[in-house]
Amino acid sequence: MRHRKTTALVIRAEIYWLLIRKPWSHSLARFVTLFQLIQSASSGKCTDLDSPDQPAACVYCKKPQPSKATGEQRLKKCGRCLHVLYCSRQCQKEHWKLGHKTQCSLGALANDVYLDSFRKEEEAIDQLIDAYRMRVEDDYAFRHENRGLYARENPFPDFRSFLDLAESRQGVMPKWWNKEKRRICERRAVDEDGWSCIAFAVEKHDIQEHYNDHMMPMKLRMLAEKVYGFGVMDPMGQL
Ligand SMILES: [Zn+2]
Ligand SMILES: [Zn+2]
């Protein structure tokens, strides 16, 4: 039952994503807001921090914050999405399992902290590479543009251009990014024994399967859209 509800939510989220795209800064913020509205309506579990009528309470157990709370008594904001409050680590863990994982990623994307929010640097690096791979596939599928691997060329120069562009954007690269991390990223991108390798094409369902996450293609698309500055369906992308 819960699975069906989640599937319906994902479909609706994807429809919104298709409808609202340009320019990405507006579309992303609007999309995240809409998504949160849908999710709170469906689960009844989310507290909107911006709502002045609601007293601050733990989003999971609903325990309100004591009126003169100090230090440890104060509810803590989720450090990634900054959108929900928790009274304890345990409530945060349970809420994550309940489905905050997806909402949180969208919030992290909107707050420009997505790649910063992974515990392991390799995870962020692999998602950056996969954002490129997903975008090359989308450019081929939606814009009939063949580049890199799809133009039967060595994909490495095209991938390097992607990294150059990503480095030039505000709020894409994690704080720990530097020349050495870039070298590690470039090595991982051409390592044919690893999964996130630019020598292999990838489709939406491969990404979903690998990450065991139906929303992952959308998150990677949003990340790539931040890098390129437009989505695959945007008119300016056709120029
Ligand atoms: Zn709680
Ligand atoms: Zn969060």
For 72-122, the pLDDT digits (tens) are: 788 999 988 888 999 999 999 999 988 888 888 888 888 889 999 888 999
Per the domain annotation, does 43 fall within a domain?
no
Task: Give residue 47's pLDDT.
Answer: 43
131 and 224 belong to one structural domain: yes
More confident residue, 198 or 238: 198
Distance between Cα 60 and ligand 1 center (Å):
5
| Closest ligand by atom to 89 CA | 1
- Residues above pLDDT 70, as percent of the chain: 75
Domain span at 136: 121-228
130 and 106 belong to one structural domain: no
130 and 215 belong to one structural domain: yes
Does position 2 have pLDDT exceeding 60, yes or no?
A: no
Per the domain annotation, does 158 fall within a domain?
yes
Per the domain annotation, does 35 fall within a domain?
no
155 and 196 belong to one structural domain: yes
Per the domain annotation, does 75 fall within a domain?
yes
89 and 173 belong to one structural domain: no
Distance between Cα 88 and ligand 1 center (Å):
6
Per the domain annotation, does 64 fall within a domain?
no
14-37 pLDDT per residue, tens: 555 555 544 444 556 556 666 655
Does position 181 have pLDDT exceeding 50, yes or no?
A: yes
Round the average pLDDT of the chain to a whole number and report it. 82
Give me the residue label for tokens 């609007």. Answer: 30
Distance between Cα 222 and ligand 2 center (Å):
17
Tell me, letter by letter, the H, E, C secondary structure of the chain. Answer: CHHHHHHHHHHHHHHHHHHCCCCHHHHHHHHHHHHHHHHHHHHCCCCCCCCCCCCCECCCCCCECCCCCCHHHCCEECCCCCCCEECCHHHHHHHHHHHHHHHHHHHHHHCCCCHHHCCCHHHHHHHHHHHHHHHHHHHHHHHCCCCHHHHCCCCHHHHHHHHHHHHHCCCCCCCCCCHHHHHHHHHHHHCCCCCCCCCCCCCHHHHHHHHCCCCHHHHHHHHHHHHHCCCCCCHHHHC
| Closest ligand by atom to 113 CA | 2
Residue 130 token pair: 């996969």
133 and 80 belong to one structural domain: no
Cβ neighbours of residue 172 under 8 Å, at least 6 residues apart? 112, 115, 166, 223, 226, 227
Most confident range (mean pLDDT) of 32-36, 148-152, 183-187 is: 183-187
Distance between Cα 56 and ligand 1 center (Å):
11
The b/e string for 108-130 (b: 16+ C-beta within 10 A; e otherwise) is bbbbebbbbbbeeeeebbbbbbb
| Closest ligand by atom to 111 CA | 2
143 and 176 belong to one structural domain: yes
153 and 99 belong to one structural domain: no
| Closest ligand by atom to 78 CA | 2
Task: Choose among 220, 225, 228: nearest CA to 130.
Answer: 220
Does position 177 have pLDDT exceeding 60, yes or no?
A: yes
Task: Confirm if 237 and 183 have CB atoms less than 8 A apart.
Answer: no
Does position 50 have pLDDT exceeding 90, yes or no?
A: no
Residue 76 token pair: 């803590």
Average pLDDT over residues 144-165: 95
Does position 68 have pLDDT exceeding 50, yes or no?
A: yes
92 and 131 belong to one structural domain: no
Per the domain annotation, does 90 fall within a domain?
yes
| Closest ligand by atom to 103 CA | 2
Distance between Cα 93 and ligand 1 center (Å):
10
| Closest ligand by atom to 90 CA | 1
Task: Choose among 149, 191, 173, 154: nearest CA to 227.
Answer: 173
| Closest ligand by atom to 60 CA | 1
Task: Give residue 39's pLDDT.
Answer: 56
- Residues above pLDDT 90, as percent of the chain: 53
Per the domain annotation, does 22 fall within a domain?
no
136 and 219 belong to one structural domain: yes
Distance between Cα 238 and ligand 2 center (Å):
35
83 and 140 belong to one structural domain: no
Per the domain annotation, does 212 fall within a domain?
yes
Distance between Cα 12 and ligand 2 center (Å):
20
| Closest ligand by atom to 81 CA | 2
pLDDT band, very low/low/confident/very high, at 41 (cuts 50, 70, 90): very low
Average pLDDT over residues 204-218: 92
Task: Give residue 111's pLDDT.
Answer: 84
Distance between Cα 188 and ligand 2 center (Å):
28
Average pLDDT over residues 126-139: 97
Distance between Cα 76 and ligand 2 center (Å):
11
105 and 152 belong to one structural domain: no
Q: Which of 44-53, 179-188, 218-227, 229-238 has the lowest mean pLDDT?
A: 44-53
Q: Return phi, psi of residue 173, to 5°.
A: -75, 150
Average pLDDT over residues 178-203: 97
Distance between Cα 223 and ligand 2 center (Å):
17
Task: Give residue 146's pLDDT.
Answer: 93
Domain total of the chain? 2
